[in-house]
Structure 1
Amino acid sequence: MRLRTEQLAGQLTKQLLPVYLLSGDELLIQQECADAIRQHCRQQGITERDVLEAERGFDWNALLEAGQSLSLFADRKLIELRLGGARMDQKSSAALQQYLEHADGSNILLITCGRLDSRSLNAKWVKAIDQAGAVVQIWPVDRRQLGGWIQQRLKDNGMSADREAAELLADRVEGNLLAADQEIQKLKILLGEQAVSLETVAAAVASSARYDIFKLIDAALAGNAAYALNMYNGLVAEGSEEIPMLGAISRELRSLYNCAAAIEQGNGIDRVLDGARVWDKRKNLYKRCLGQHSVGSLSRLLQLAGRLDAAQKGQSDESPRLLFTELITGLAGQSVISYPH
């Protein structure tokens, strides 16, 4: 069957199909559709997952073996086949059709790929998926629709905005949904769950023109302590509020801590990052940072953030500036100077 993205949730509540194909270039929507399928698999007791990357030289027998292999821990599993921009040739098409011919519905196959043109949508392998499961085409959000999309997204995050504020934000992100979602998350961290006005959006955009806390965090995750500290000093010099800045860093630390804990329990890092909904473009930053840190070191950084919070509120005699420097340096994986407390 062919489904629109807004129809997927309703279909999943009725039945979990043997195969899903998510096709499109809107990475945010594709990721969220994939998350919805993963969630319903877990609800059905399907907790094991095989991830296959169909890169150059990929052995398509691996797909057939994944479908036939038995698990020691579960009767069913989710198989994710990530085509990316790879083109399906006769061999790969035949392998996929062979998999579907022998599939009995025990395992769920989730295929993701870029946008398929009309010719590809009529290919035998797509028709086979259409017959056995669902093909979900993910269309770009038109600029005329983007303001409404942003308003709905804000509502989903417990916020609201009038049309003018949403349109300004739409202009700011220039049609990039990932950027739009990032801006909404930034507003939520800075403002909490409340109405977003035109003036608020304009001020938030203006305040991030030179430096912003999210670029600072990425620099620290990359291990560039000097650059991160330079941005911190720039933000302070521009009059940025340090309490919201700490909130953003603390949120990232909690995410890193949860990832590190899951990895220490034996989970693969790629699966952990997918579960934490880390964007593809930030996964290398997370991997680098998690390679430098353990659950223990991240726990100590969270404790340091707690001390900084107390210092910012005047509940201790420690210097917020020194503690902030220590926190940024520590997150970057550099040696941390201990200050008396």
Structure 2
Amino acid sequence: MKLRADQLSKHLSSPLLPVYLITGDEPLLAQETADAIRAAARDQGFIEREVLDADSGFNWGHLTAASQSMSLFGDRKILDLRLNGKLGKDGSQAVVDFCESAGDDTLLMISAGKLDRNALRGKWVKAIESKGALIQIWPIDRSQLPRWLQQRAQQIGLNIDRTGIALLAERVEGNLLAAAQELEKLRILVGDKAVSGDEVNALVASSARYDVFKLIDCVLQGQTTTALKMLAGLRTEGAEGIPMMGAITRELRTLHRCSQMLAQGAGIDRVLDSAGVWDKRKPLYKQTLTKIKERELASLLLLAQKIDLTFKGQQPGQPWELIDQLVCRLSGQKLAVNG
């Protein structure tokens, strides 16, 4: 079957098909489509996941072997196949063979770039359409972008006026990943306030140098000095502490949950998949979870709670100085403090 992106949410509430092909050249929408399928699969018992990167030298026997092997823990399994180039004869046959023998215990999800018309007519694509679903990701054109931005803003609880949406659409020039990041930054910077066009113009420009998400990534990379400079920049630019701490605390909660699962003996890849960590951020999480253990992360969560109460005036202290401490500890350094 062919499945439109706007049909996906309803489809995923039903038992999943054995194979999905996601094709298109819009990275954000393709990534979120894959994330949605993986989340639905986990909810339906597909706990184990194996990633296969199919480049020009890929041995397609690995797909066959992976599809026939039993899960180590007896769970249902996702085969996450990243297609980097053309399948070729062997790859096409391997996918066809999988479709013909597909059972209930293994789900194959193939992520590819944009396939041309000839590729979409291929035997392997037809086999997927017969047993599973083909999901084509279409780009958002210039005329549709303001509506997409408005819907995205509503989804994350950001109140932004029509002028602000128009300015943002012009600024991101059709780059949906950049657009999504700018909306998230605005939500962090302004919280529940309504955002006007003038504020979009000022905040998007001023946050280009220092933003919360870059700060968090620097912290997880152990770049303490750079992170402290970014934090100072955010403070100078008037970033609101409470929503900023909300973003940092969410990251801490995810790290702490992962650390707890690791302490119980789960494998790191399985843990990160279960926590919904995006593939591009997994190296940051692995690095942090190696050097900072569960007890320290629990302590940092208590510190984050204290900072939030201090910003709200419900507890004495200097919140920005406390954030300096949190940033240093999370990046693996100790900050000398007086008293």
> Could you state the TM-score of these two structures normalised by the residue count of structure 1?
0.88
What is the aligned partner in structure 2 of residue 23 from structure 1?
23
Calculate percent identity across the aligned residue pairs: 51
CA distance 1:334–1:149, shift in 2 (3 Å): same
Cα contact 2:185–2:211 (8 A) shared by 1:
no
1-structure distance, mates of 2:55, 2:2: 26
CA distance 1:213–1:41, shift in 2 (3 Å): closer
What is the aligned partner in structure 1 of residue 4 from structure 2?
4
What is the aligned partner in structure 2 of residue 39 from structure 1?
39
What is the aligned partner in structure 2 of residue 227 from structure 1?
226
CA distance 1:268–1:142, shift in 2 (3 Å): farther
> CA offsets per residue over residues 239-286 of structure 1, 9 Å max, x none?
433343333322222222223223333444334434444444433323
2-structure distance, mates of 1:61, 1:47: 23
CA distance 1:71–1:227, shift in 2 (3 Å): closer
2-structure distance, mates of 1:125, 1:192: 48
1-structure distance, mates of 2:216, 2:46: 35
What is the aligned partner in structure 2 of residue 180 from structure 1?
179
2-structure distance, mates of 1:162, 1:131: 45
Q: Give 1:78's aligned amino acid.
A: I
Residues 96-245 of structure 1 correspond to what in structure 2 (within 5 A)?
96-193=95-192, 195-245=194-244
Q: How many pairs does the alignment contain?
A: 339
CA distance 1:26–1:290, shift in 2 (3 Å): farther
What is the aligned partner in structure 2 of residue 70 from structure 1?
70
What is the aligned partner in structure 2 of residue 320 from structure 1?
319
Q: Secondary structure at the match of 1:50?
A: strand
Residues 265-304 of structure 1 correspond to what in structure 2 (within 5 A)?
265-304=264-303
Q: Secondary structure at the match of 2:259?
A: helix
88-97 or 68-77, larger mean C-alpha shift: 68-77
> Could you state the TM-score of these two structures normalised by the residue count of structure 2?
0.88
Q: Secondary structure at the match of 1:143?
A: coil
Q: Give 1:101's aligned amino acid.
A: E
CA distance 1:337–1:79, shift in 2 (3 Å): same
CA RMSD of aligned residues (A): 2.6
167-176 or 243-252, larger mean C-alpha shift: 243-252
Q: Secondary structure at the match of 2:16?
A: coil
CA distance 1:200–1:110, shift in 2 (3 Å): same
Whether 2:233 is the aligned partner of 1:251: answer: no
Q: Give 1:196's aligned amino acid.
A: V
Cα contact 1:158–1:194 (8 A) shared by 2:
no
2-structure distance, mates of 1:49, 1:100: 18
Q: CA deviation at 1:145?
A: 0.9
Q: Secondary structure at the match of 1:273?
A: helix
Cα contact 1:256–1:286 (8 A) shared by 2:
yes
Q: CA deviation at 1:227?
A: 1.2
310-319 or 166-175, larger mean C-alpha shift: 310-319
CA distance 1:175–1:277, shift in 2 (3 Å): farther
